[in-house]
Structure 1
Amino acid sequence: MKQTQIMLSHGSGGLESNSLIEGIIYEILGEVLVHNGEDAGVFESKMPLAISTDSYVISPIFFPGGDIGKLCVCGSSNDVAMRGAKPMYLTLGFILEEGFSIESLKKILYSIKQEALIGGLKILSGDTKVVPKGSADKIFINTTAVGQIHNAEYSVKNLALGDEIIVSGAIGTHGAVIFCQRNEINLQSDLQSDCVQLYPMLEGLKECKIHSMRDATRGGLAAVLNEWANTACVEIEINEPSIPILPQVKGVCEILGLEALSLANEGVCVIATPQGESQKILQILRSHSLGKNACVIGRVTKKADNAKNARVILSNAWGARRYVEYPQGELLPRIC
């Protein structure tokens, strides 16, 4: 009888494991999988490499604009792209709960394959474990991305007085979508997660002068800017009217009492660049569909004596100013 759910025996290392790995995982991912039957994949590179690992436990696993499969590829590839690297390889680790739908697993695998093909990524190595029902929630995925660095100078420590702060797109969209899904808020809109691979948009920035770049995931824009300010000992001032936020996201924030600056993104990056470079960078970003809403939202206004005096300040349309605090507590667990 054809199995429709994951069984504990699928993780035993025996016949059932083989049927899951070769009959389903390899069958779907074969086109992007470096499969040589060995315990470890091998790659060669004459250039320095960036590597990032992350685990994905998002709930729900399917959401408007993506699923945990798309998310795990985009999330890890974006992390290495933020260090000036072209994502090249991925490793995949699956933790499956007993009873998880094999049909759902197939949908996730197809999403992984599609994103790997979009990014020109190869899956170098992988692992699958099955745990008893109740020991996990459906599926968790760990991914590690490896990329070749074309610009090793991106570092938060490079932030300097006068640097302009650019965001590549509208903020808070992923977080707003997951909040609505989690709270069963039925929006009459086409709002979708911004989950996407950023490297295709950023590839044209190779020759631009960039001091630092970060993707604004958990904690959103507020977390990135506060981390920059604290690490570089600077004061950053941002202009509220300049920050792109979709009307639907603003509506969600008003309904739920949320701060868009602290909502997660999965397809937005923040760039710090010397003032003379900002227009060149904006032109390149806006020439790509992912960067059409890119804009300068602020700048580094002064150096701080120490990290305690480093801060992020928001100016609104009426000239009032307030501190943007580092997000505290767990705003929304399992956002990615």
Structure 2
Amino acid sequence: MKRVITLEHGGGGRLMRELIEGLIIPAYRLNRAPGGIGLPEMDDGASIKVAGINIVLTTDAYTVSPIFFPGGDIGRLAACGTINDLSVMGARPLALATSMVVEEGFEVEKLSRIIRSIDEVSYEVGVPVVAGDTKVMEKGKIDEIVINASGVGLADKVISDSGLRPGDKIIITGPIGDHHIALLSARGDLGFEVPVKSDTAPLWETVEAALDLGAVTAMKDPTRGGVASALNEMAKKSKVDIHVWEERIPIREEVLGVAEALGLDPLELTNEGVVIMGVRSELAEEALQAVRATRYGSMAEMVGEVREGSGLVVLETVVGGRRVVREPLGAPVPRIC
């Protein structure tokens, strides 16, 4: 039987990682710029060192459905996601580029609305959109619109997701799961409405506040696969264990209630306006307060610590128990971002 790609291969979990590690990365004989971070590191972007300057490059495709949802749309998502991927590598975003593939018959007003959303994020962060491309496909050959966005930034010091050290503290910059539950509600999958908006937001200001203190050792944005996937990646790559305190994890009651009703693990819910930061222990409280002082970090919490180990994520539960947080197989919902 021929092997085929499934929706789970795009879900941000173990199946996607195995596809990338087993098929995609080995196919490219040149997959890293000299002295930089490249495909083998499977980080949120790549770094290229030119004349002593750290250039960070990232690219991503956005296929979210529906394309308009509470708290945003596919345009805002593309702009914020690209800015955030640069930010978590310690790079100040410099410029964006977008490519749009649009279905024949797509309403011009919808396209205009999506472009305005990209512009609003660009203007908020001060990052120009400097290049792009537009293609149109026959009706029925694509579902409304797909956007690819790329970004470039500069980093004084590149931050990877593999820099955690024993003793570091873990900060989550905002409530988890909002985007995931907002999308389910918008699709009508819940059978009832939930007053939750997507957390889609550009997080450079929030990240910069911690970077300016020299506190950050590692970062990741927990999108597909959620906090569970991101923490597992960080722990395995850093060769440490991460212990997380369940009672400290920021999550809205509405989100937690829906997750429990549907049998979803809150740690596996997709986020689009949250960063996981590893910070130096001696600067952890100062970093937390600096993050909380920013527009999108007011509900940040210190949720755990890094210990010596071999790559496990351990949840210390509210009832005093412990459980190992496994890497998700794939996202429980396709086309979430």
Normalising by structure 2, report the TM-score: 0.82
Matches for 1:26-175 after TM superposition, within 5 Å: 47-152=53-158, 154-175=159-180
Between the aligned partners of 1:203 and 1:313, the Cα distance in structure 2 is: 28
Look up the match of 2:333.
Answer: 332
Assess if the C-alpha contact under 8 Å between 2:88 and 2:207 holds in 1: no
Between the aligned partners of 1:122 and 1:76, the Cα distance in structure 2 is: 13
Between the aligned partners of 2:156 and 2:274, the Cα distance in structure 1 is: 20
How far 1:45 moved relative to its partner?
Answer: 9.9
CA deviations on 1:194-249 (whole Å, 9 max, x unpaired) are: 00000022222223221101111111110111001111221111110010100110
Stretch moving more, 325-334 or 199-208? 199-208
Matches for 1:17-32 after TM superposition, within 5 Å: none
Assess if the C-alpha contact under 8 Å between 2:96 and 2:127 holds in 1: yes
Assess if the C-alpha contact under 8 Å between 1:314 and 1:321 holds in 2: yes
Between the aligned partners of 1:301 and 1:157, the Cα distance in structure 2 is: 14
Q: Percent identity?
A: 38
Look up the match of 2:201.
Answer: 196
Between the aligned partners of 1:106 and 1:46, the Cα distance in structure 2 is: 40
Assess if the C-alpha contact under 8 Å between 1:238 and 1:313 holds in 2: yes
Assess if the C-alpha contact under 8 Å between 2:56 and 2:153 holds in 1: yes
Between the aligned partners of 2:202 and 2:191, the Cα distance in structure 1 is: 27
From the superposition, tell whether residues 278 and 65 of structure 1 become closer, same or farther in structure 2 (CA, over 3 Å). Answer: same
Assess if the C-alpha contact under 8 Å between 1:222 and 1:262 holds in 2: yes
When the two structures are aligned, how many residues end up with a matched partner? 287
Between the aligned partners of 1:195 and 1:93, the Cα distance in structure 2 is: 20
Assess if the C-alpha contact under 8 Å between 2:83 and 2:93 holds in 1: yes
Between the aligned partners of 2:171 and 2:208, the Cα distance in structure 1 is: 16
Between the aligned partners of 1:119 and 1:74, the Cα distance in structure 2 is: 10
Q: Secondary structure at the match of 2:197?
A: coil
How far 1:160 moved relative to its partner?
Answer: 1.0
Q: Secondary structure at the match of 2:216?
A: coil
Look up the match of 2:15.
Answer: none
Q: Secondary structure at the match of 1:48?
A: strand
From the superposition, tell whether residues 104 and 276 of structure 1 become closer, same or farther in structure 2 (CA, over 3 Å). Answer: same
How far 1:296 moved relative to its partner?
Answer: 1.0
Unaligned 5+ segments in structure 2 are 1-49
- Report the RMSD for the aligned CA atoms in angstroms: 1.7
Normalising by structure 1, report the TM-score: 0.82
Aligned-partner residue type, residue 175 of structure 1: H
